[in-house]
Structure 1
């Protein structure tokens, strides 16, 4: 399932995102993969970063995967990198990469990222 966010992800909007992810998890068939596309965000605050981490943990607890797409948005990439969550979240440069579930090349990319971090 693909969820596209736009505008701001901050203390005032995190509950909307948390609710959307919870609804997506409840309605998605197995294997559950939720892709959050953040390419259209204009602001990503500390509360937004914490929420991304929390919904990732929530998804994992329900045997699902949450993938985050930066879409080349430097604001998003920088916020994730500066807070260190880019090493914890499953981050992808574009939707195509994030949606390629079960692709062997994807496994190799993730393995290389793990070894290089």
Structure 2
């Protein structure tokens, strides 16, 4: 999909730092705009203290290309290397859900249907505590 203008005009990122960090994308996520996402996630990881969770809301996207899906995997790995979890929110966006389903990314990314579900999801430690409690009961 061709589009004129700079990458920042085609993709807007709203940021809220804290725990968890929150990034909301709107516009087009494709080969021409992936560096905007890389920079936003890097900025979220650079704050002190580093967040343990970054919620990336894709509900405002109008287009999600293959390069955009690949960058989601890359920033998930980057966050994991810094001991943070990246949670992807589809926001009921059919374009996003379809792209993640067709590429198989929904099976490997931490995907949630809405912000509330992503924000209330526990971390890996909580899962391990629950599993241990069930194992020993």
> Per the shorter chain, which TM-score range?
0.7 to 0.9
Q: CA RMSD in A?
A: 1.9
Normalising by the residue count of structure 2, what TM-score does the alignment of the two structures yield? Answer: 0.72
Q: Which structure has greater helix proportion?
A: 1
Residue in 2 that maps onto 1:64: 84
Per the alignment, residue 93 of structure 2 pairs with 73
Q: CA deviation at 1:28?
A: 5.3
After superposition, residues 3-18 of structure 1 pair within 5 angstroms as 3-18=23-38
Match of 2:49, SS? coil
Deviation at 1:102, TM superposition (A): 2.7
Q: Which runs of 4+ in 1 moved over 2 A?
A: 28-31
1:72, distance to aligned residue in structure 2 (A): 0.4
Unaligned runs of at least 5 residues, structure 2: 1-20, 128-137
Distance change (3 Å), C-alpha of 1:16 and 1:74: same
Task: Report if aligned partners of 2:44, 2:51 keep a CA contact under 8 Å in 1.
Answer: no
Aligned residues: 106
Moved more, 64-73 or 92-101: 92-101
Question: Which structure has the bigger radius of gyration?
Answer: 2
Matching of residues 8-47 of structure 1 within 5 Å: 8-27=28-47, 29=49, 32-47=52-67
TM-score normalised by L of structure 1: 0.84
The residue aligned with 2:119 is 99
